[in-house]
Amino acid sequence: MIRVSTLMFAAALAAFAGEKPKLSFVNDIVPIFTKAGCANSNCHGSIRGQAGFKLSLFGYEPDLDYDAITKQENGRRINRAEPEKSLILLKPTFSIPHGGGERFKVGSLEYEAILDWIREGATYDSAGSPRLKTLTVTPEEITLIGIGTTHQLKATGTYTDGSAEDLTRKVQYTANDESVVEVSPLGEIKTRRAGETAIMVRTLGKAIAARIAVVEKPPMANYPDVPGNNFIDELVFAKLKRMNIVPSELSSDQEFLRRVYLDATGMLPTLEETKQFLDSKDPDKRAKLIDELIDRPEFAEVWATRFADLFRTGLLDQGYKGGRLMYNWLRKSVMEDKPYNQFATELLTASGQLKFNATANFYYVTEFSEPENLATNVSQVFLGVRLECARCHNHPWEKWTQDDFWGFAAFFGRMGIKDTYENDESQVLLKVKGEVIHPKTKQAVLPKYLDGPTETEQPDEDIREKLAAWITSPENPWFPRAIMNRMVKHYLGRGLVEPVDDFRVTNPPTNQALLDALAKDFVENGYHLKRTARLIMNSRVYQLSSEPNETNRGDQINYSRYYVKRLMAEQLADSITEVTGVPEKYPGYMLGTRAMAIPQGAPSYFLATFGRMKAREVICERDSQPDMAQAMHLISGETLVRQTMAKGGNLDRWMADATLSNEDIVKRVFLAALVREPDRREIEVALLPLQTHGEAARREAFEDVLWTIFNSKEFLFNH
């Protein structure tokens, strides 16, 4: 059954019968407070409300709204005898002072609807009356051409009785970026500048987003034919063409070589590897190199470090030995290309003593040992969904309710930690009994899948096995998309969804088709991380130059060029060691062990300064922003002083080689650090101290060359 509008249909019948339609509090009145902004998180919809008046956030809980309007404050918010004098009308029309200002006008449709509802008796809906089931918006995605162009959005709701209604006038519209488009209260959008944004559409606790792209001019008549290597290129370049953005040229061999070594192995190529690749005339040399790097143990170390960040391995009082054990398990799993669904299942169902069972360390993070904290951690890590906001109230930007949060937490009701004085002796276990109590109802909660049914735990059953099966199921849309998004972020510098663990309808991907295609390919080909890494690095998108052109200079989200990114702390430390040839010593590890091969928790001032997780941090993503401590450490820090001045390294070996001129040594330094030879000007500047101060200052001059390069953006960033 389709209805254009409940109110319009009812009005037609009423006109025929000579009477007005009866208004629904839930479907006609509650949406007014969301649309007017009264039920927003910064107004009466906040966790504590405003001025003693609290509404449910975006109309999630109409029954509570009804009580707040009609019963609280002794029912003074409505005046049944004189409806026009009801506070619920006087304040939002600013007929009397109101901190929120005017929300709608006297005589408006909103005003008349509330007035009629009060006149009709201010009743609540009868039991079993239709409730909004789904909310959709059309168009879901559109590209608009020209500044000042307008377009009308249409919102439609379907109800539990199977009916549908045009909700365009009832919903609230909000632009994520108002500098790109403005949107009217009735859903008309008007373009302001070229760019992309989303329009959030909300009512009755439902939320959806329309993705809007704006280009200044019609499609280029002479848009170049850009070749592609796989479906990643097809989907990226198709969108770029719609946006009138031409991708950058292909990167040079030197640029690609440094980039792929750092991304795949966390280290720079040796001089021999650089020469071999640059001298090769093989047209497939890039693809062959990628295959070779993916099979190297250093590839596994990079992803073990990435996962160690994600799982907080070795942090938060977990114990260094346990952290090392789990890091080794992560590295071995990646090296073996263990399917990611199996990888996740082993972690989700883990238990046992930390020093013997590597996967048990996944659960042993002190601040996350309670069921509600485990629910937050698991949903964020494996599904890319932030449930935390729904712990205390319904989610302000998503569909998740408190019931969803506590139902998911109930899967971990029997989880327990048996602590000992030595953390590595501690044990993760399942208690005989355990339940999760809903903070609002004070009742035990049944385990409930997100957006799914409840589950019943049978006697002697580990219900986490059912949860793991649901999380890793091919039908679960979040699981593959979450890890694909993290891989895109690692290789292309930006996730399709940012932040990478904040998937929600009001934060859509920048390229939905690409995310869906990557997830589909990942599932259909056995959940293998190495396959996806190979796909991304073989794409032309990954191999584009970082140098912008006139059309893509302002693009930050569509992968029209390679996005420059700062080296990870481990990459930076290992790269300095490689260039100088001076091995580093980390506590508890043999001299020469790579920083990338050391688990979290190992003490290192250099690594901590440049962004490695610190002992008690609870974040999943590193802070890549530069700061003063980093600048000072590069200028005069102990690490660089020791590395550049230590005897027995590459400088001493090259200087002792009688076949190498000073210019040859400068070229070697540049090749080792930047994977390119210096230009004539750089050579002249580097050799100038040797000409003016003589042979006695030779080593000091080369040390200055090293120091200068290590402080350069070209060295500190992957480009």
pLDDT digits (tens, 9 = 90+) for 187-209: 999 999 999 999 999 898 888 99
Least confident of 117-126, 535-544, 664-673: 117-126
Label the pairing between strands 352-353 and 427-430: antiparallel
Closest CA to 175 of 166, 185, 165, 167: 185
Least confident of 122-131, 563-572, 672-681: 122-131
Asked if residue 492 is part of any domain, the answer here is yes
Asked if residue 282 is part of any domain, the answer here is yes
Q: Are residues 22 and 147 in the same domain?
A: no
For residue 101, list its beta bridge partners. none
Cβ neighbors of 386 (< 8 A, separation 6 or more) are 376, 379, 380, 501, 502, 504
Task: Give long-range contacts, CB 8 A cutoff, 24+ apart: 111-116.
Answer: 113/23, 113/28, 113/29, 113/32, 114/29, 114/32, 114/86, 114/88, 114/89, 115/83, 115/84, 115/89, 116/20, 116/23
Q: What is the distance in angstroms between the CA of the first residue and the CA of the last residue of the chain?
A: 57
CATH number for the domain spanning 150: value is: 2.60.40.1080
Is residue 600 within 8 Å of residue 607, measured between CB atoms? no
Kindly report the number of other CB atoms within 10 A of residue 170's CB atom: 25
* Residue in this structure with the two tokens 């093989």, named with its chain if needed: 282
**For the sheet containing 172-175, what is the strand order?**
141-145, 206-215, 195-203, 172-175
The CA distance from 377 to 397, in Å, is 19
- Which residues in 522-557 are b (16+ Cβ under 10 Å) and which e? bbeeebebbebbbbbbbbbbbbbbbeeeebbeebee
Is residue 406 within 8 Å of residue 445, measured between CB atoms? yes
**Per residue in 220-263, pLDDT tens?**
989 999 999 999 999 999 999 999 999 999 999 999 999 999 99
Q: Are residues 604 and 699 in the same domain?
A: yes
The CA distance from 317 to 311, in Å, is 13
Assign 6 a pLDDT band (cuts: 50, 70, 90).
very low
- pLDDT higher at 641 or 154: 154
Please check the confidence at residue 638 and state whether its pLDDT lies above 90.
no
Q: Which two tokens stand for residue 168?
A: 């365009």
Asked if residue 71 is part of any domain, the answer here is yes
Q: Are residues 433 and 350 in the same domain?
A: yes
pLDDT value of residue 226: 96
Q: Which two tokens stand for residue 118?
A: 């009060």
Asked if residue 309 is part of any domain, the answer here is no
Please check the confidence at residue 19 and state whether its pLDDT lies above 60.
no
H or E stretch at 560: none
Asked if residue 524 is part of any domain, the answer here is yes
pLDDT value of residue 59: 84
Label the pairing between strands 141-145 and 206-215: parallel
The angle subtended at Cα 486 by Cα 485 and Cα 491, nearest 5°, is 100
Q: Are residues 10 and 147 in the same domain?
A: no
Amino acid occupying residue 547: E
Closest CA to 209 of 198, 220, 217, 218: 198
The CA distance from 428 to 513, in Å, is 41
- pLDDT higher at 664 or 15: 664
Q: Are residues 580 and 696 in the same domain?
A: yes
Q: Are residues 579 and 702 in the same domain?
A: yes
Please check the confidence at residue 275 and state whether its pLDDT lies above 90.
yes
For residue 53, list its beta bridge partners. 50
The pLDDT of 39-64, averaged and rounded, is 85
Task: Give percent above pLDDT 90 in the chain.
Answer: 66
Asked if residue 327 is part of any domain, the answer here is no
Is residue 545 within 8 Å of residue 248, measured between CB atoms? yes
**Per residue in 102-153, pLDDT tens?**
999 999 999 999 999 999 999 999 888 899 999 999 999 999 999 999 999 9
Cβ neighbors of 703 (< 8 A, separation 6 or more) are 644, 645, 651
The CA distance from 79 to 559, in Å, is 58
Q: Are residues 343 and 465 in the same domain?
A: yes
- pLDDT higher at 578 or 432: 578
Is residue 633 within 8 Å of residue 572, measured between CB atoms? no
Please check the confidence at residue 617 and state whether its pLDDT lies above 70.
no
Please check the confidence at residue 630 and state whether its pLDDT lies above 70.
yes
The pLDDT of 48-68, averaged and rounded, is 87
| Residue 275 zone, left/alpha/beta (φ > 0; ψ -120 to 50; rest) | alpha
The CA distance from 546 to 566, in Å, is 13
Q: Which of 421, 445, 471 is the last residue of a domain?
A: 471
**Per residue in 276-293, pLDDT tens?**
999 999 999 999 999 999
- pLDDT higher at 589 or 672: 672
* Residue in this structure with the two tokens 């089931």, named with its chain if needed: 133
The pLDDT of 465-475, averaged and rounded, is 97
698-710 vs 680-693: helix crossing angle, rounded to 10: 150
The CA distance from 361 to 380, in Å, is 17
Please check the confidence at residue 83 and state whether its pLDDT lies above 60.
yes
Assign 315 a pLDDT band (cuts: 50, 70, 90).
low
Residues 465, 469, 472, 473: what is their CA dihedral angle, to the nearest 10 degrees?
180
pLDDT value of residue 13: 35
Domain count of the chain? 5
Q: Which of 471, 493, 524 is the last residue of a domain?
A: 471
pLDDT value of residue 7: 47
Asked if residue 662 is part of any domain, the answer here is yes
pLDDT value of residue 599: 80
pLDDT value of residue 8: 45
Asked if residue 576 is part of any domain, the answer here is yes
Q: Are residues 575 and 711 in the same domain?
A: yes
Q: Are residues 673 and 532 in the same domain?
A: no
Query: Strand, coil or helix: what is 544?
Result: strand
Q: Are residues 270 and 351 in the same domain?
A: no
297-311 vs 285-294: helix crossing angle, rounded to 10: 60
Q: Which of 504, 530, 564 is the last residue of a domain?
A: 564
pLDDT value of residue 366: 47
Is residue 546 within 8 Å of residue 251, measured between CB atoms? yes
pLDDT value of residue 393: 67
pLDDT value of residue 11: 45
Closest CA to 481 of 447, 505, 515, 453: 515
pLDDT value of residue 353: 81
Q: Are residues 628 and 658 in the same domain?
A: yes
Please check the confidence at residue 427 and state whether its pLDDT lies above 70.
yes
Q: Are residues 657 and 635 in the same domain?
A: yes
As a whole number, the mean pLDDT across the chain is 89
Most confident range (mean pLDDT) of 86-95, 168-177, 533-542, 643-652 is 533-542
In eight-state DSSP terms, residue 412 is G
Domain interval for residue 676 = 569-718
Query: Strand, coil or helix: what is 587?
Result: coil
**Per residue in 477-524, pLDDT tens?**
999 999 999 999 999 999 999 999 999 888 999 999 999 999 999 999
